[in-house]
Structures are given as structure tokens and as C-alpha cells.
């Protein structure tokens, strides 16, 4: 019999993780203090499973099995039998501390305690535990049943046994598990910052409008969504807050400096799709914004944003956040980048990336564009990230 998995928080993410665990054959206990939220999660799962059934992705027996595998509870005391509990609640350290402090008294001493946080320190979350060696970050991406990547983040306190068990378990769930260091933004939310930040900077300088920047990144770069379309999809309030938290956590490093433009859009309530207006107008009769399809301009935009993205990917390796393969897997599986950034860097040529960054740093005189020391070293030694 497979282990019982507990999930705290029946929002979109928590309910999604519950579905993943149930589809992998586990009994799942989904807890939320809000009965209406539990009812909504149960109703939404029924809709999702009916869609999968109609598309013949699952059988009626599998549908029944998944539905009956999830138990909906309002009290954390129901988690006593779990071997793993994943918390997926609001990104508030004080609330998480309160939850984990109480949870350790309910579950067994061998139960692994995990958090799905995307921005908070795992070490800090685990600091309230009597045995902090059992804390770990298990960061799914939304929607959890569809997105293949899961970032596994041990705290400095986490035992090797817990790391090994979680890596094996998440792999058995059919996910791509990537190990990364407990640093702000982990891999994806750290490395992806320039995709948004540099696009906003290019707009602020008057080089191109939103639609043209998006066109350059999708048509020329092969990205699934342009930065402004993606920010509108995520929500400007959420995207700005993540950037702000990463900026603060890195002691105000200019590489992660938030944009005044995005802050103003957030303040105005232009949050994107969910508010009907963001960088684009989503009202019923709104005319689509046309891009200026200038190949030279588009290539300049792509080259600049890509150089900054690659520089962040290099920094993640330099600071041992993850391996070369781990960083590339995270960006292709977690945010659907067309290529791993480090593989892309090899294709373009590390010397070319270094020249672009040096030119930007010379032009602007800002540390935002400083080339990573590892990039300089590899160019000097004529090395690549992958064997030629």
C-alpha cells in the first residue's frame, strides 16, 4: 500500500497537487479551514476528471479511483497518518510558522514536512520544528497536473535521507525533479527575472512597444508567450511582488530591480487578464495591438533579453544553485523555454554573449549588466557548458 499524502490548502495549487498524488495511486487527505474552498476543489476535480474521461485520457474506473482517493477535511488533525505533508497556503512566513509548529505535534516523527513556497526560505520555514531535518521545499508549477517540473529544495537542516526519499517519490509521480539550493527564487523565478525586467526596461527607454517586444520574443525567439502577454496572464500584482521579493532577498542587487512601469500598472489595477486590462486590453471589443515587425529591431530586442537570461542561468551554476543540466531542465520544463539557456549560450557562442553584456554595461554603466565571472572564465579558457 502506498503512503498517505497530506496537502494543506485547497486552492488551485493544493488541489492540483492532490490530483497528482491521487493519480499516482496514493490516498490523499486535502485540508482547508474553509469548507467552501474544499467544496470548490472537489467540484473542480470532478470537472477536470470528466474532461479527461471524455478525451479518453482516463477510464471510468480510473476516474472513480482518483475521486475516491481524495478525502476532504477541515482540520489538520486528520493528517496524523500521513508520511508526507505538503503545505500549499498563502506566502506568509508567520502563518507558515504557525502551521508547521502545530503540524509537528500531529504527525509521526518520520513524516516528511514539505512546503510548496515559491519565494520564502525553506530554512526559515523549518526553523520552528523540533526536528528541522525533515523540512524540504517541493515547488510545483501551475497547473500542477500538467507542468512536468518540480523544484526540490533542501534547507541547510534537511537530512540526505529526506532528500533521497522526496526525489524518488516525485520521480515516481511522473514529474521531472530538479534539485536546487535554498536561495531566493530557487531556479526558475530567479533565472526568469530578466525575461520580464529587461522587456520592461526596453519599453521604458522607448525602443519598442509591448506588442513589438512580444513579437520579437515569440516569432524570432521561439518563446511560447511574450513577456507582456505572460505578465498579463500571471497577473501584474503577482509578477511584480515576486520580482520585489527576489530584489529584496538579494540585498537590492540591481540585476533584479523592479520596474516602475509595472508598479504603476499594478497600482492602477491593470493586473492583466483577470482584471480585463493589463499591458493589453482584454475587453470584448478591444482592437488587437499590432507589432512593428522589423527584423533588425526584433533581433536587437531578442539578443538583449537573451543575454541577460543566459547571464542569470550562468550565475545559478556559478553559485551552485543547481547543475548545468538542472538549470536547463528547470527552464524548459518549468516555464516552457524553447531551449535550455546554457545550451542556447553554447550555440550562440559564449564569447558573443560576453560581448553583448560588456557592450550593455559600457553603454549604461550599470551593475545590472555585469557579466558573470564564470562566463568570463569559460570564454578565457575556450570552454562550453556541454561537450561539442
**The pLDDT value given to residue 56:** 93
The residues annotated as belonging to the active site are 118, 139, 151, 189
Closest CA to 113 of 38, 40, 165: 165
CATH code for the domain in which residue 325 is found = 1.10.1040.50
Residue 171 and residue 207 in one domain: no
Residue 167 to residues 142, 170, 177, Cα–Cα distance (Å): 19, 5, 6
Residue 146 and residue 225 in one domain: no
Residue 84 and residue 215 in one domain: no
Closest CA to 99 of 120, 128, 71, 122: 128
**The pLDDT value given to residue 363:** 97
Residue 228 and residue 340 in one domain: yes
Separation between Cα atoms, residue 366 and residue 254, nearest integer Å: 8
Domain that holds residue 142: 4-179
Contact yes or no for 317/324 (Cβ under 8 A): yes
Residue 102 and residue 207 in one domain: no
Cα radius of gyration (the chain):
22
Contact yes or no for 208/301 (Cβ under 8 A): yes
Separation between Cα atoms, residue 294 and residue 27, nearest integer Å: 55
**The pLDDT value given to residue 215:** 98
CATH code for the domain in which residue 31 is found = 3.40.50.720
Separation between Cα atoms, residue 341 and residue 345, nearest integer Å: 6
Q: Output the tens digit of pLDDT for each of the chain's 388 residues.
A: 689 999 999 999 999 999 999 999 999 999 999 999 999 999 999 999 999 999 999 999 999 999 999 999 999 999 999 999 999 999 999 999 999 999 999 999 999 999 999 889 999 999 999 999 999 999 999 899 999 999 999 999 999 999 999 999 999 999 999 999 999 999 999 999 999 999 999 999 999 999 999 999 999 999 999 999 999 999 999 999 999 999 999 999 999 999 999 999 999 999 999 999 999 999 988 888 999 999 999 999 999 999 999 999 999 999 999 999 999 999 999 999 999 999 999 999 999 999 999 999 999 999 999 999 999 999 999 999 999 8
Closest CA to 208 of 91, 330, 295: 295
Residue 140 and residue 272 in one domain: no
- Using the 3D structure, point to which of 133, 161, 179 is the last residue of a domain: 179
pTM: 0.93
Domains of the chain: total:
2
- Using the 3D structure, point to which of 179, 207, 238 is the last residue of a domain: 179
Strand locations in 98-185, DSSP E?
112-115, 135-140, 149-154, 176-179
**The pLDDT value given to residue 388:** 83
Amino acid at each position: 500500500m502506498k503512503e498517505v499524502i497530506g496537502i494543506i490548502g485547497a486552492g488551485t495549487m493544493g488541489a492540483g497537487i492532490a490530483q497528482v498524488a491521487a493519480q499516482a495511486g496514493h490516498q490523499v487527505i486535502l485540508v482547508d479551514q474553509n469548507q467552501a474552498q474544499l467544496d470548490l476543489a472537489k467540484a473542480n476535480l470532478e470537472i477536470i476528471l470528466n474532461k479527461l474521461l471524455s478525451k479518453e485520457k482516463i477510464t471510468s474506473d480510473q476516474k472513480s479511483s482518483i475521486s475516491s482517493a481524495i478525502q476532504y477535511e477541515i482540520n489538520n488533525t486528520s493528517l496524523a497518518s500521513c508520511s508526507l505533508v505538503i503545505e500549499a497556503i498563502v506566502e506568509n512566513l508567520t502563518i507558515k510558522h504557525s502551521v508547521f509548529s502545530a503540524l509537528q505535534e500531529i504527525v509521526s516523527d518520520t513524516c516528511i514536512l514539505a512546503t510548496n513556497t515559491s519565494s520564502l526560505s525553506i530554512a526559515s520555514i523549518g526553523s520552528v520544528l523540533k526536528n528541522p531535518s525533515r523540512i524540504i521545499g517541493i515547488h510545483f508549477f501551475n497547473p500542477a497536473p500538467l507542468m512536468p517540473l518540480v523544484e526540490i529544495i533542501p534547507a541547510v537542516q534537511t537530512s540526505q535521507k529526506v532528500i533521497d526519499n522526496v526525489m524518488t517519490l516525485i520521480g515516481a509521480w511522473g514529474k521531472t525533479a530538479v534539485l536546487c539550493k535554498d536561495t531566493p527564487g530557487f531556479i526558475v523565478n530567479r533565472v526568469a527575472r530578466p525575461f520580464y525586467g529587461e522587456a520592461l526596461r526596453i519599453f521604458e527607454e522607448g525602443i519598442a512597444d509591448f506588442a513589438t517586444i512580444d513579437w520579437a520574443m515569440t516569432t524570432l525567439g521561439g518563446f511560447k508567450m511574450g513577456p507582456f502577454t505572460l505578465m498579463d496572464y500571471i497577473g501584474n500584482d503577482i509578477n511584480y511582488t515576486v520580482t520585489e521579493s527576489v530584489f529584496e532577498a538579494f540585498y537590492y542587487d540591481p540585476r533584479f530591480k523592479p520596474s516602475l512601469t509595472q508598479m504603476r500598472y499594478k497600482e492602477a489595477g491593470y493586473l492583466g487578464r483577470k482584471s480585463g486590462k493589463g499591458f493589453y486590453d482584454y475587453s470584448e471589443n478591444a482592437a488587437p495591438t499590432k507589432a512593428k515587425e522589423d527584423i533588425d529591431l526584433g533581433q536587437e530586442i531578442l539578443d538583449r533579453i537573451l543575454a541577460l537570461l543566459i547571464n542569470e542561468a550562468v550565475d545559478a551554476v556559478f553559485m551552485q544553485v543547481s547543475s548545468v543540466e538542472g538549470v536547463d531542465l528547470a527552464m524548459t520544463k518549468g516555464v516552457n523555454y524553447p531551449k535550455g539557456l546554457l545550451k542556447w549560450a553554447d550555440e550562440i557562442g559564449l564569447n558573443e554573449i560576453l560581448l553583448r553584456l560588456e557592450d550593455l554595461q559600457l553603454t549604461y554603466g550599470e551593475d545590472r549588466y555585469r557579466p558573470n565571472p564564470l562566463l568570463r572564465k569559460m570564454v578565457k579558457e575556450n570552454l562550453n557548458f556541454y561537450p561539442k
